[in-house]
Structure 1
Amino acid sequence: MQGAEHLGELLDEAPPAVSLDEAVALARDHFGLVATARPLTGERDHNFQLTDAAGAVYVLKVVHPAEPPAVTDFQSRALMHVAAADPELATPRVVPPRGAGGGDVVWRVQGRSDRRVRCLTYLAGRPLHLTERSPAQRRRLGAFLARLDRALAGFRHPAEDHDLLWDLKKAARVRGLLAEIADAERRGLPERALDRFARHVLPVLPSLRVQVVHNDFNPHNVLASAEADDEIAGVIDFGDMVRAPLIQDLATAAAYQVTGDGHPLQGVAEMAQAFHQVLPLADEEIAVLPELVATRLALTIAISSWRAARHPDNAPYILRNQAAAWTGLGRLDALDRDAAVTFLREAIAKDTLP
């Protein structure tokens, strides 16, 4: 845990602010874009929306100085790979910098740490967390994620195994972060999820197929069409990518689809069935999906509790997904494991989507 926690602390440290004038100059000097800029939110980087005279829109990302250059390159190269493998898939496109062979440039300012700068095309749409959930939306989410994972299959990069606090396959190491939850009974909920992860998932992880995955397909990173909540307009933020079991990507996405009524896994099943029809799942992958979904919720609770305690001024933003995580984990905690796996197997095995 120590290495990941240390990296998390480094990325929590706020780098020097980037002014609008600096963003405009970076866009012009390094990417040939004459544009206006306005700030966008970001967990680690300084992000800006750029608009040129013709109305074309881009995103300029001034990368956190603690992020290794190889990881920044990993993200850019992955986007290039996806664009070549599935040109119709709605993901940001890398805007190549002038005179550089990769996807980023180094910005040097006297007295500051060097920072890397990237530019991407802007995807229009509404963040999924502002839309109305539905079975149709979940099915389209599953199909979209499967296409993305299919496009990423075969992509390799030297930084693909970088250490990431949000790497679900390493979830056991966050147990110590749960100490921030003072109520022992309440703390027992994520602790039991981590116990089940250790008992049922860790022993089979080495046998599962692996590839580079998005690893953060959450409702803040997925966009819906402006016309319809059920239509997926694209996915953004490839900053948590890592090489991991394929089923980890589906579990991470499905953790945000645990339903508040009916069967707790109904929303998970709808997404998984659509994923399976595009990119078939093996039985051993389905068998660990319930635990992985619960583990992702436990990971959300552990990391956000730890970070909120260290940054009380930013706690509302950090804890924005916690209520849903507690509710979802509580519902999954009550399920019998064998019954949960059977429910998913039967739903995923259906020949057609309802």
Structure 2
Amino acid sequence: MTAKRRTLHNAPILDAALGRTPSRRPVWFMRQAGRSLPEYREVREGIGMLESCFMPELLAEITLQPVRRHDVDAAILFSDIVVPLKAAGVAVEIVPGRGPVMDKAIESRQDVDKLPMLEEDVPEVAAGIEIILGELSDSQTLIGFAGAPFTLASYLVEGGPSKNHEKTKAMMHAEPETWHALMRRLTPTIIAFLKAQIAAGIDAMQLFDSWAGFLTERDYRDHVLPYSTEILAALAEDGIPRIHFGVGTGELLGAMSEAGSEVMGVDWRVPLDRAAERIAAASGPRALQGNLDPAMLFAGEEVVAKEVARICAEADAAIAAGTATGHIFNLGHGVLPHTAPEAITRAVEIIHEH
């Protein structure tokens, strides 16, 4: 499939990601496409989460809603971490109030060997991307998305969301050969899913490791980093900025940056200038993405303005010090479900003033 790459002019997200000077402070929010918007709830009424990810017109509409409403500088493709598993044929459903639940958990090497792999394009997603690109301006970036292999593996081994990841860690340490076989089986599926999005025309991509923050740096390096590195390396030739983000990963930022992305996402727990020092010491300066605490959007405009100013100052200090190459404003995780849409819109206006 031939890539349908757009030529973008004055796209702040791409400029910041690639170390150029953007025309304004770029901003997009994780989970901006979804739960907080009344128009989202309206169009998705009666339609399952995973089902909506495979309906091109609906996928496109949900992706575009926050761009129209908030004037963010990027659309993030509406998807879910388990979409590539579903596309490959894994029996998984998203249970309201709980999250992705597997029909059968991975418990043995035999289960790993039977795990379906994604070996073709996902035409529904490609069709949705084509619709989205038709509406975005040439200054607005479309960011593709995939879950990282550790997070997918944890869902598969636990059978669904887990508070402690005990089965995952037990397999990792007690059955390392089975663990590595699972990671080797997941990695090509994630690459194929991202390659399909790139071929359809996305402008940048994010590899999202929801659960990596539950690991020690040693375990991350031994059991996860090689596979995330392989994924990002496989996309290097495609020439789009690669963003790497995990939740609760302050102690892993240096190790995660070694996977090779142009942009490192930082959650709200670590100041950006300190995060930049950790990243630069491990692998050289990168562009930073982050990192407003999502809860601050409930605290009122004065608090948001103060926090935005602080975060921008930290990012600018890191750039001036040579420990970062650019800054893309974002939350330190996703938009919370009950966030007032007006608070998001106003936050974007404040960020663009910096």
TM over 0.5: no
Q: TM-score, normalised by structure 2?
A: 0.30
Q: TM-score, normalised by structure 1?
A: 0.30
Greater RCO (Cα-Cα under 8 Å, separation 6 or more): 2
Larger radius of gyration: 1
